[in-house]
Amino acid sequence: MTGRAVSGDERRPRTVRIDPHVHTDASYDGRTTPAELVRTARTVGLDGVVVTDHDTIEGATRAAALAPDNLAVIVGCEVSTADGHLLAIGIDAAPAPDRPLVETARSIRDAGGIAVVPHPFQRSRHGAREAAIDGVDGIEVYNAHAVTNVRNRQSERFARRNDYPQFGGSDAHRADRVGRAVTEVRLPAATSPTPATILESMRAGRTAAVGERTTAWQYLTKELRNARRKTPSLR
């Protein structure tokens, strides 16, 4: 008895496009509802997203509950550590804030998640310093929300020098920014893009960063909007 013939496509690894750094209105500076996020992710052709609101998984769990079969929505958050921000990907609860980055990364990994440093070296955006980065699973080397590409290039050099897997993310706080930068994740042959299989490949370092930056006007608009939210006198 002979088995089914396996096609060449089934023997080849599959590459999927994931935006691992997006925000909903559960973030203080986010404007996108979970429903808008899910709808936009499919419209722009993504295979999945990681919802990373600031120090909460509320928006992520709402988005995951709305995810259609053809979109993997992974629960995460952007943790405010004592040394800068850290993405916690594939978690069930938001890690406690204000702890050292290394300690936070260890807790994320112990819980089965993945720790990725977003926008490193950008101190105005709470990016971690080089000396604080250790024990993580990857570095965001392409953040779309950057006026220039200087820090992205610095991040890529750091990741290469220290052999860290490379990630790209939109850091989208509005729906129209989703997917501007993504992480291409290589899945094993004949593997479907589920949260579990995506996390497994991310953990194994089968990632690449691609995307485009936010324009200077878009960046300035967001910063002014955030300033109004934080400063009552400007409202």
Question: Is the residue at 153 inside a domain?
Answer: yes
Question: Is the residue at 5 inside a domain?
Answer: no
The Cβ of residue 185 has, within 10 Å, a number of other Cβ atoms equal to 28
The predicted pLDDT at position 110 comes to: 97
Q: Are 117 and 128 in contact (CB under 8 A)?
A: yes
Rg of the chain taking only CA atoms, in angstroms? 18
The predicted pLDDT at position 188 comes to: 96
Question: Is the residue at 145 inside a domain?
Answer: yes
Please state, in angstroms and as integers, the Cα–Cα distance from residue 30 to each residue in 24, 34, 188, 227, 229, following that order: 5, 11, 34, 13, 11
Alpha helices in 4-100, H assignment, sequence order: 8-11, 34-43, 58-66
Instruction: State how many domains the chain has.
Output: 1
The predicted pLDDT at position 7 comes to: 54
Question: Is the residue at 233 inside a domain?
Answer: no
Question: Is the residue at 149 inside a domain?
Answer: yes
Question: Is the residue at 91 inside a domain?
Answer: yes
The predicted pLDDT at position 86 comes to: 98
* Number of residues written out for the chain: 235
Please state, in angstroms and as integers, the Cα–Cα distance from residue 226 to each residue in 33, 197, 221, following that order: 17, 36, 9
The predicted pLDDT at position 1 comes to: 43
Question: Is the residue at 3 inside a domain?
Answer: no
Render each residue's pLDDT in the chain as its tens digit; 235 residues: 445 555 556 668 899 999 999 999 999 999 999 999 999 999 999 999 999 999 999 999 999 999 999 999 999 999 999 999 999 999 999 999 999 999 999 999 999 999 999 999 998 899 999 999 999 999 999 999 877 789 999 999 999 999 999 999 999 999 999 999 999 999 999 999 999 999 999 999 999 999 875 545 455 555 555 555 555 544 3
Exposure class string for 34-53: b at 16+ Cβ within 10 A, else e: bebbbbbbeeeebbbbbbbb
CATH code assigned at 166: 3.20.20.140
Domain span at residue 70 reads 13-227
Question: Is the residue at 210 inside a domain?
Answer: yes
